[in-house]
Structure 1
């Protein structure tokens, strides 16, 4: 290895761990793993994504500091591209910042914060990025989440400075790495597409928006990971305009067959926004994907919770519950497991 000095100090091998939720992982992996393959080839860094059906995944980037910075730049610009694409379908006018979460051994966080917060303040001021070090360690580990937000360029400069601190102050003692808990269903949603997790890759799953059509036809719920013969290319007939409305989650009535049941759950008021989404986009997406009717009760005075009523077949209800939980998980990541 060449011992040239780069912007991040000596060009030594370093490992940085990132915490990402399902949608971000899907974006990094890309179709058939093409995006992550390109990132590995162009940066020269090793990029590994933790296995498992977890709402959160660990992305490990290893290599010389130069290669790490290139990989981070590619990830930051990919996330910005995702934000721009989302905004083209949204009435929002202000562009949210790109956000990355590093996982750093707690023993190194003191050096990163500095005496009286001097180091973290210096990093914020010199890079223009927002940097927050979590007060608590991640569950069952000795690591903390360090959240960086800003423009891709600010994030890249910030990561360079954090790498220098980590090289100057190695971790003390043994580090117990954070391992995200598995989710009950190995499915992630990215860009309206459903993926099942197989090894390190997200494999596109047949369009889950058709599940409720199958339910209306009294077809059994297809096992996840298996392709139902009625899936790709075969259009199932809709019996009425009411069913067509149900398809979009806009109807107040359910088709009489199959038998419908009801499930109720409560959600804290301060998290209801992430379920509803801007102008109801998220709740409509969940209705459309699950085929269930979902009603959110109005806020009641003195209550900190809102009631959600889900009506549909057991398959519809279980899928709607999973999608709601996935939204909540992505909203509260960094605040501990649900």
Structure 2
């Protein structure tokens, strides 16, 4: 998830404005589907119960992740995310009533979706504290049997996306703030070492009971709101996308086509599937095949083919686009979505590489444009719901 102080007009209670925040969470495709629910019923219930603006990004062909965005007052947002964790913890059944494997056991090629923290244990985690004296006294009386009663299946994990700048404030000098959060709320917290692909954001992974995570998020939001710097330059945000690597023969890619070498921002994105077997043919021509998801082909080609025509002219290459009726000739069982093959040829390899690079950059730009439009529409679409409540 990524989180940033909200710039929207803040709701008021009496004469005092209520601080608002926008948090973003990284989800797998299955996690996103479970939170959305049948025809959006589950996420709608979360939105109504907590009076927040909440939505999940569109599925991007070839990517194994989506982003949940939740905006509103701090307590509301934190409670909404706690509800999401409880939903993910629920047991699923197939049509025959058999219990399905927990999503917690899933392993992903896109390593950011895999838990950084080890499996939970009752010795390290504790249920949320409610803070009043009576409950505290009751808690002390039950302390001896607490470990036996703890159900580890109720423990969940959340992946909060945080800008590198804000993450430093959450960790604190010498890790003092993050250690305090861990001790105070009985949770486990760790920050990812790597940046999310093509961004300046990292993950803050929090493991614990939903209520405990809710309480941690409230404190994290307070830190973020107090960390506003007028001189701060916004860092590049992460969004699920397909990128490319300069290393044509790097085979260390995953289902999300994101390379595991995350120290190089250029290598952090999703590498397109390209066919280099025919890089050089008998006609003294260099050739590259690039797969473009069908839903983006129109934008890449442009109105009346103007955009692709300009690309051909600028790079001095020939670019042939696979026809729809030939889709089956190139379709692979591993393809999650329909793709069209763009074949680039030229007698100069550098021209082919330039055309390939520009083609993929145009695709990235179009994906980002649609993602930004979705995020803006999600916020606008839910404004009226909050006002009516």
Q: What's the TM-score once normalised by structure 1's chain length?
A: 0.50
Mark the structure with the bigger radius of gyration. 2
Q: Which has the higher strand share?
A: 1
